[in-house]
Structures are given as C-alpha cells and as structure tokens.
Amino acid sequence: MGERLKGKVAVITGAASGFGEGMARRFAEEGARVVVSDINAKGAERVAGDIGKAAIWTQTDVSQASEFEEMAKAALDAFGRIDVMVNNAGFTHRNGDMLGVDEATFDLITAVNMKAIYHAALTVVPIMESQGGGVILTTASTAGLRPRPGLTWYNASKGWAITATKSMAVELAPKNIRVNCLCPVAGDTGMLTQFMGEDTPELRAKFRASIPLGRLSTPLDIANAALWLASDEAAFITGVALEVDGGRCI
C-alpha cells in the first residue's frame, strides 16, 4: 500500500470495468477511499467488494442529474468529503459512416461524454470549494486531439471534453480546484470493438502498428497517469490534456 492519495476520497464513474476499474483499484492501493460508480450495478459491486472497506459502490446513470446528486450524497455519507471527481464513464457509436448514426445514439453520446461533466461540476464544485479545493479529472481521448474517420460524433464529444477541461481549469483555479483530462489511445476494453467497427486479429495488428510504442493501452497505464494528476505531486498542473497514447498523437 502506498500513500500518494492517503486521506483523499475519489468518486470514479464508469468504474465497473476497463479504465475506471483500473483507476479505482490503483487509487485504493495508494490510500484513497473510493466510490465505485457505474450504471452496471453488478460490476460496480464486484470492484468495490474486491477493494474492501475502502470502497463503496453506487449504481449511477451519469446522464441524469438526480443520480449524480445521489452518488455525491452516498460519498459524503460514507466518507465525509469528495477530493477527486473522475468523469470516466463514456459511450460511443460503432465505427462507420457519420450519417448512419441515429439520433438516439447521438443523444446518448452527448449525454454521457459531455453533459455528465456539467452534472459533475454542478454537484461537486460547491463541495470542493467548501473543503478548500479538489481535483476534477475527465477521461477524454486521443480522438479529441487527432480525429480519424468513422467516429466523428464520438471524436467531437471528446474534443468538447478537452475544451471544457481547459475552460473549467481557468475558472476554477481561484477556488483551488484543478481540472485536467486524460487522452488515452484505445485499450483492450469493452469499447474496443465499437472503435474498430469489428474485432479481428488483422484490425488489431493494423491499429497497433499506428502506435509508435507498438501496443494498445492498458487500464494500468491510464490509472497511473490519473493517479499522478489526482495526487499532490501534480499540485501545479491544471488545464492539461495528457496524452497517454504510446506516441499515437505525434
């Protein structure tokens, strides 16, 4: 057990699997108490159960303001504070023609990838301000920095998240609230098939070949980057879109 987040409470959305699960486990290893939040209740309960007494879980649909408020209340009831808010939950359409994405899918992308950041701010900024500061961290994507055909609406949502991060960082700096985002390259998570359109050895090889370090990201890669940004080691870092991409964006 480390102590880089000792005494801190972190709320992580989309934490039942993938990058969010990696963050929840890594943060707990470094002394944080963690709220494992996901729309997938069974997955969230599993991750929190594995972590133990330092974690609770909530079933939360981040597209709904009322559920965000319930999640924050659960965190405060259990741990008394919120020091780190990680907006990690995400949604995408399948790789393909931009004109083939139906409106319901588009609306869900914007609700989960964009509006949830708004819900988080309205919910946690007053809490963090009353505590004297905090950290807001969003999982954006390399797609928001170096977009490619086939994921246009997802790319746009992540570009929005990056701009929101930078604007929030400037506005919230006087409140001692740091705001940053991560830009991961795709990893072997539940969304990979959607990103590629289909999952074949040939497509994976083609995608890996586009990454200078020659592999996909892992939850631990993203969790370690998130850990640093959430910790006091990054106390002078705000408004950053950190590429965790093996060189993909070069």
Taking the C-alpha atoms of residue 138 and residue 225, their distance in angstroms, rounded to an integer, is 12
Nearest CA to 179 out of 163, 199, 195, 193 is that of 163
Taking the C-alpha atoms of residue 35 and residue 24, their distance in angstroms, rounded to an integer, is 8
230, 135 contact by CB (below 8 A):
yes
Taking the C-alpha atoms of residue 203 and residue 209, their distance in angstroms, rounded to an integer, is 10
Residues tagged active-site = 154
Six-digit token string for 160: 């929005």
Residue 90: other Cβ atoms inside 10 A: 25
